[in-house]
Amino acid sequence: MSLVRVGELDMAYRVQGRGSAVLLVAGTGYPGGTWYPELVDRLAERHMVITYDHRGTGTTRGPVGEFSTRTLARDALGLLAALGVPEAHVVGHSMGGRVAQWMALDEPDRVCSLVLAASGPGARPGTRGHTLGVPVATAAGMVEHGYQGYVRRVQRQTFFTERFAATRPEVVEWLACAFWADRPSVPDYLQHVAARQQHNTVERLAEIRQPTLVLVGDRDTHRRGTGSHLDQSQYLAEELPHAELVVLPGVTHGYFWEAPEVSAQVMLDWLAAR
């Protein structure tokens, strides 16, 4: 990882490949080192791929405190500016997709397209089960199993299908170790969780004019703090003006790790048309 000054942060980032820029925005509390190498390598065959550590994660240094998904969007936009990247395709996984929405809203000229991967817009009118603070299940899980044990359980239960986890345990273990190696502190992790829960762009989706690929697994139906990602993705595809929905068969929340080749090919084909 290299470091560059972005506002109040010394932000850690890595660049791989050449071509039009693709910025990968990780999920809740996930550092840049958790992006699966097979996925990044495949994208880097055609693009300059940028990964980075969110504030409070990895080797990014600077004040953390309270922040929102919009704060994280400003960080990411600042990184592109600091690297002299005038525009980028932005791929956001889970909470990273929420960050990507704010990037598109706040600096539309710097975001040429979006891939919203297993993400959502926040609490929708008439829906239940969306906690605006740290969900009880998160707090209880961390108390019961410890920080590392909790993260491992969530990854095992929601990122991977049972069959894949049984036949490819080394991939499950790779993700768990990659997260733990560059993990945020407990307070910083919970701040990431709170930022995710409080995110809401429901009333502003019509303002996002960039072409958008909404990508989700057909088994991503678990209901935790933000509800079903399949339901949320379908809602995004309906409400965004220029969106295309692609539902990947046989995978859940972690298809970038379970099916990196398929995921990368779908994105490469879609980006080629942009």
d(CA 56, CA 234): 31
Instruction: Per residue of the chain (274 residues), give pLDDT as tens.
Output: 999 999 999 999 999 999 999 999 999 999 999 999 999 999 999 999 999 999 999 999 998 888 999 999 999 999 999 999 999 999 999 999 999 999 999 999 999 999 999 999 987 776 666 677 788 888 889 999 999 999 999 999 999 999 999 999 999 999 999 999 999 999 999 999 999 999 999 999 999 999 999 999 999 988 766 678 999 999 999 999 999 999 999 999 999 999 999 999 999 999 998 7
Sheet holding 21-25, edge to edge: 2-6, 9-16, 48-52, 21-25, 88-93, 111-117, 212-217, 243-248
Question: Considering only CA atoms, which of 200, 205, 207, 217 is closest in space to residue 127?
Answer: 200
CB 254 within 8 A of CB 175: yes
| Alpha carbon distance 182, 88 (integer Å) | 25
pLDDT of amino acid 193 = 95
- pLDDT at residue 230 in the model: 92
Q: What is the pLDDT of residue 70?
A: 97
CA distance 178 to 198: 26
Model pLDDT, residue 67 = 94
- CA 76 to CA 32: how far, in whole Å? 12
| CATH class, 2-272 region | alpha beta
SS3 138: helix
Question: What is the pLDDT at residue 134?
Answer: 84
Which pLDDT score is estimated for 133? 79
The rounded Cα 127 to chain-centroid distance in angstroms is: 23
The pLDDT of residue 124 is 76
Tokens of residue 170, six digits: 């080394």
- Note if the pTM is more than 0.95: no
CA R_g for the chain: 17
How far is the C-alpha of 196 from the C-alpha of 229, rounded, in Å?
A: 13
Domain ranges of the chain: 2-272
Q: Which pLDDT value is given to residue 129?
A: 60
pLDDT at 126: 65
Residues 6+ apart with CB under 8 A from 216: 117, 118, 229, 230, 233, 234, 245, 246, 247, 248
Query: HSE on the CB side for 71, CA within 13 Å?
Result: 17
